[in-house]
Amino acid sequence: MLTNLTKPAAVAVGRFAPSPSGPLHFGSLLAAVGSYLFTKRQAGKWLLRIEDIDTPRVRHGADSAIMSALEQHGLLWDDEVIYQSSRTERYRDIFSQLQQQNLIYGCQCTRKQINAGGGVYQGTCANLDLKHITNATEPLSWRLRSAQVSCQFDDRLLGLQRIAPAMAQEDYIVLRRDGLFSYQLAVVADDWDQGITEVIRGADLLSMTPRQQHLFSLLGAKPPMYGHLPLAVTAPGHKLSKQNHATALSNWPASYTMARALAILGLHLPAELQRAAAPEQLAFALKHWQPADIPATLEVLAPDFG
């Protein structure tokens, strides 16, 4: 009898996780192309997750606008699309698990108070045991005790990163005052449940990485590998916004925006492919691009879409 003793190769699983607060802008396109190439060159799976957890910021129809922009660029995802809004029960379970471990506490501080104290939360309510105050009139937010979060991590694209302790170890919110679970809790729950092995995303999320890795370990799970792509800016320190760049993006053919995104990721298309259909350009990149081509920088100037 023939037995196959070869272990199946581990499949890389990547993801693109846009928030549907507006259509796709160039910065998100860059993250999508980067994570797609990273995963697909290993013949991995590339998943799409719509991060609609922050319901007040969700714009009606933005999810379908994002999906059709991805399709126009040939960025076709695997499996079904996951919506965070359908996963509240799971987030609640995780919240309870953390609560049972006594890792969470109620907080009554307002954003205004925190900003007045320098903008980083100082643990003011950490020892107040606020959940027991029965006459509290204001709803509480819930924070995770984070003193154990590491201040450094090894970024797959940028190498060793050090995050300021005040930021890395800030007791961050896992359940908001308005009853919504936070991005921080949801993103870890989802990356875990979807079996994500590599998170490739914009450098604006770099400082959030140690806390996400730490939350994985609190839940008894292995964190994925994290790599951060240069963030597209209009001027140093100025992120693109959905308002000023999303509309502009849709005014240009996908081949133009794809060629610009690939160039930023370090792949310059040959002249004959500059105007080819975006999926064809992407297929070329899959054969010729490698992660080492990405410039190891935190910001890049976005092209002028005028």
The binding site for ligand GLU (CB under 6 A) comprises 17-19, 51, 187, 201, 205
> In the complex, what is the shortest distance from the CB of residue 150 to ligand GLU, in angstroms, rounded to a whole number?
18
Minimum Å gap between C-beta 130 and ligand GLU is 29
53/104 with CB nearer ligand GLU: 53
Toward ligand GLU, which CB reaches closer, 98 or 186? 186
Smallest distance from ligand GLU to CB 212, Å: 8
If the CB atoms of residues 53 and 125 are measured against ligand GLU, the closer one turns out to be: 53
The DSSP letter of residue 228 is: E
Q: Which one-letter DSSP state was computed for residue 16?
A: E
Question: Distance (Å, rounded) from C-alpha 93 to C-alpha 98?
Answer: 9
Of the two residues 203 and 269, which places its CB atom closer to ligand GLU in the complex?
203
State how far the Cα of 267 lies from the Cα of 106, in Å rounded to an integer: 48
- Residue 123 bridge partners (DSSP): none
Q: Which H or E run includes 237?
A: none
State which residue, 173 or 205, has the beta carbon closest to ligand GLU.
205
CB 28, min distance to ligand GLU, A = 6
Contact criterion met (CB below 8 Å) for 184 and 173: yes
User: In the complex, what is the shortest distance from the CB of residue 205 to ligand GLU, in angstroms, rounded to a whole number?
Assistant: 5
Phi, psi of 205 (to 5 degrees): -105, 5
* Minimum CB distance to ligand GLU, residue 201 (Å): 4
Cross-strand partners of 50:
83
Cα 87 from Cα 226, distance rounded (Å): 23
Closest CA to 296 of 266, 262, 269, 267: 266
d(CA 11, CA 14): 10
Q: Between 19 and 281, whose beta carbon lies closer to ligand GLU?
A: 19
Q: Are 33 and 261 in contact (CB under 8 A)?
A: yes
How many whole angstroms separate alpha carbon 141 and alpha carbon 114? 13
Helix (H/G/I), strand (E/B), else coil: 203: helix
Identity of the residue, 22 or 106, whose beta carbon is nearer to ligand GLU in the bound complex: 22
- The distance of closest approach from Cβ of residue 9 to ligand GLU in the complex, given in angstroms and rounded to an integer, is 25
Q: Are 226 and 262 in contact (CB under 8 A)?
A: no
